[in-house]
Every structure is written in structure tokens, then in C-alpha cells.
Amino acid sequence: MPINLKGRSFLTLKDFTPDEIRYLLNLASDLKSKKRAGIHTRLLEGKNIVLLFEKTSTRTRCAFEVAAMDEGAGVTFLDSKSSQMGKKESMADTAKVLGRFYDGIEYRGYDQAVVEGLAKNAGIPVWNGLTDVDHPTQALADILTLMENTKKPLNKCKLVFCGDTRNNVAYCLMYICCKLGIHYVGWGPKELAPADDVVAYCRKVGEETGAKVEFGEDIALIEGADVLYTDIWASMGEEDKIPERVAQLTPFRVTKEVFEATGNPDCIFEHCLPSFHDFDTTMAKTQKELGYDIREVTDDVFLGPQSRVFDEAENRMHTIKAVIVATIGNV
Ligand code: CP
Ligand code: NVA
């Protein structure tokens, strides 16, 4: 059956079938090749989108803006400081108003219920640009990057997420891996294990797709990985947890030795970014002065030959473009 995602929201990968996810990945790859070849597809001519951010962003905001502008759409950016959103006007009313002006809404914030509420009230597609428990556009970019770096079929690949295995990025990777039959391992401390219902969901999907879903503290779990992945230890809004996270997660920092434990010379390193891999940021520097080394990965891995983090960042744009085009575009 041909895939048609027109009019659909993109709130979580749980809502999409494996074929729909593969369609988005292939569309992203196609749009990427066309952009590289200088072919202007202009698939969003006459459309307008609005980007709502209640948390900060570099990649997601810029990816949505460039993706939309490449295809001929108009873009408005709104944050909580410069709009009525959430303070003087409920999110439901905001959604109803924006739904009259625009063809699609991107939302980044805290509670997944907010992005779901926007989708319920807007009457137009809503795209999740990150919440506390999900980051679905990120996972598409991460798997596109894997596809570009392996000759294996995805259902023969293994992805290991190191560190805070119950954060938004870990969850979206669990969802995409279980849908696509990718062996997923969460290597991190038991205090930061994923919620039981998330694990149960992924294992159930994995029964149909063949995806194995494992967790634990044993470094032996890393063996044979095709992707070693990590993220910062305290996500946006959790900065007060840094001292306890450093104590819990230091054994799970991705170092050269950890990377070598994969035993796979073709294993690549991925990271959603932003990353603490040195002390060149005010946050890493300040925390170091307080006695906390918040680096989740060392420079030899982050800047090493197996790192694909900047290709992955570029792929945020191509995959986000695919999501927008598939749901509101002229395809
Ligand atoms: N990876 C990611 O979502 O980056 P930003 O926070 O910069 O958007
Ligand atoms: N887990 C991180 C991801 C940033 C892209 C956060 O939520 O801050």
C-alpha cells in the first residue's frame, strides 16, 4: 500500500508503522540528494509554519527554518517570552488561533501532554520538537546517519545508548529501534533505568519486528555495537540534578576504552548534541570549578575518526524536511 502521511501530526514514533518510518527515512535521503545536486523541489510553496519553543534550541529550530525555507514555506518563530502562549492564553486557545493562520506547528517544551493538546486543538499537523519524554525528529536523523554508515540491513544492527537511559533521546531511540528491528541496548545505572511501561511497549513491538531490547550496567552489553550513542547527563530543566548525575553516570562516560569494548572497528559514535566533551562551555567550566566533571564523552571519541556527530546534526535538517513535506507538502 502506498504511504500517505498527509494531515498527520508527528508527536511520537509510537504512532507510526515501520513502513511509515522507512518512508520518512527514504524521503529524507532523497531530499538530501536533491539538495546536494542543487535541485530545488519547492514542495512547500504557499505554506506557512510556526515554531513554538518553551526550551532553547540550536539544531531543531534552525533545521525547521532551513527545511521550510528550502521548500518555499514561510516561517514564524515564537518563544514563551515574546508571546502570550501559556501565560495569558491557554495552549488550547493558542492552538486554535495558530490553526487559522498556519499549515503546521512545531512545538518544543516540557510536558508531552502539551504537544498532544496542540494537535487535538489546532486542526493542522503538529510536530514534536522535543519534550521531556520524547524527541522523535532526532531519532529519524540518528537512524538516517546509521543507514549512511553501514552496509548491513537495519534489523542486523545494534545501537547502544550510554548513560541516562530514561531521558527523551533514549526513549525515542528505543521506539525507532524496536519499530525497525534494531537491537537496542541501554547501558546505564539501574537508578536511571527506563520506565516499565516504556520497556514493556518496546519489547512487545520487538516481538513482531525481531528487535531485542536490553538494559544493564555490564560493559559486556556493548560488545558488537554498530552505534555507540550518548547524550548529556542532565537534560534541559534538570540542571539541579548535576551533582547526583555525575556520581551515577561517571562510570558510563564514553571514553576510548569504552568505545574499544565494542570490538567492532566499524562502530560509529553518535550524539544528539549539544555535548559536553571538553570544558569550553560556561556550564562545563562552572561545574568543573564546583568539582563536577560533566563530560559524557571524551574528546578522543567525540573528535575521533568514528564520530559522525556533525553528519548527524546535518541530517536533522533533511529528516525534519521529510516530516514537514510528508505531512503538509505538495507531494
Ligand atoms: N539535538 C537537538 O535537538 O539540538 P537542539 O537542542 O540544539 O535543538
Ligand atoms: N536530553 C537532552 C536532549 C537535547 C537535544 C535535553 O532534553 O536537554
Q: How far is the CA of 141 from the centre of ligand 1 (A)?
A: 12
Tens of pLDDT along 149-172?
999 999 999 999 999 999 999 999
Residue 235 near ligand 2, beta carbon < 6 Å? yes
Residue 7 resides in a domain: no
**Catalytic site positions:** 108, 135, 138, 231, 272, 316
Domain match, 68 and 179 both: no
* pLDDT score for 1: 77
Contacts of 209 (CB under 8 A, 6+ apart): 18, 155, 178, 179, 180, 181
If residue 51 lies in a helix (H) or strand (E), which one and from where to where? strand 48-53
Distance between CA atoms of 212 and 203, rounded to whole angstroms? 7
Residue 177 resides in a domain: yes
Domain match, 277 and 171 both: yes
Domain match, 182 and 229 both: yes
Residue 42 resides in a domain: yes
Q: Over 90: is that where the pLDDT of 12 sits?
A: yes
Nearest ligand to the CA of 51 is: 1
For 259, what's the count of Cα atoms within 13 Å in the CB-facing half-sphere?
24
Domain match, 158 and 263 both: yes
Q: How far is the CA of 273 from the centre of ligand 2 (A)?
A: 8
The count of domains in the chain is 2
* pLDDT score for 4: 98
Tens of pLDDT along 211-228?
999 999 999 999 999 999
Residue 327 near ligand 2, beta carbon < 6 Å? no
Tens of pLDDT along 71-121?
999 999 999 998 999 889 999 999 999 999 999 999 999 999 999 999 999
Q: Which of 161, 233, 235, 283 to mutate to test the pocket of ligand 2 (most atoms within 8 A of CB)?
A: 235
Average pLDDT, the chain: 98
Report the atom number in ligand 1 closest to the C-alpha of 63: 8
Range of the domain at 248: 150-307
Read off the pLDDT band of 56 (50, 70, 90): very high
Domain match, 192 and 130 both: no
Please report, for the domain that includes residue 175, its CATH number. Answer: 3.40.50.1370
Tens of pLDDT along 172-196?
999 999 999 999 999 999 999 999 9
Distance between CA atoms of 330 and 26, rounded to whole angstroms? 17
Nearest Cα residue to 128 out of 9, 32, 289, 280: 9
Domain match, 298 and 169 both: yes
> DSSP code of 252?
G
Q: Over 90: is that where the pLDDT of 131 sits?
A: yes
* pLDDT score for 174: 99
Report the atom number in ligand 2 closest to the C-alpha of 168: 1
Domain match, 59 and 76 both: yes
Domain match, 171 and 66 both: no
Residue 139 resides in a domain: no
Residue 116 resides in a domain: yes
Domain match, 261 and 319 both: no
> DSSP code of 56?
-
Q: Which of 62, 236, 272, 275 to mutate to test the pocket of ligand 1 (most atoms within 8 A of CB)?
A: 272
Q: Which residue reads 522523535 in cell numbers?
A: 136
Report the atom number in ligand 2 closest to the C-alpha of 130: 7
Residue 6 resides in a domain: no
Distance between CA atoms of 66 and 205, rounded to whole angstroms? 34
Residue 169 near ligand 2, beta carbon < 6 Å? yes
Domain match, 229 and 170 both: yes
* pLDDT score for 121: 98
Domain match, 110 and 157 both: no
Domain match, 297 and 323 both: no
Q: How far is the CA of 210 from the centre of ligand 1 (A)?
A: 30
Residue 5 resides in a domain: no
Q: How far is the CA of 122 from the centre of ligand 1 (A)?
A: 24
Write out residues with Cβ below 6 Å of ligand 1: 57-60, 130, 138, 272-274
Residue 52 resides in a domain: yes
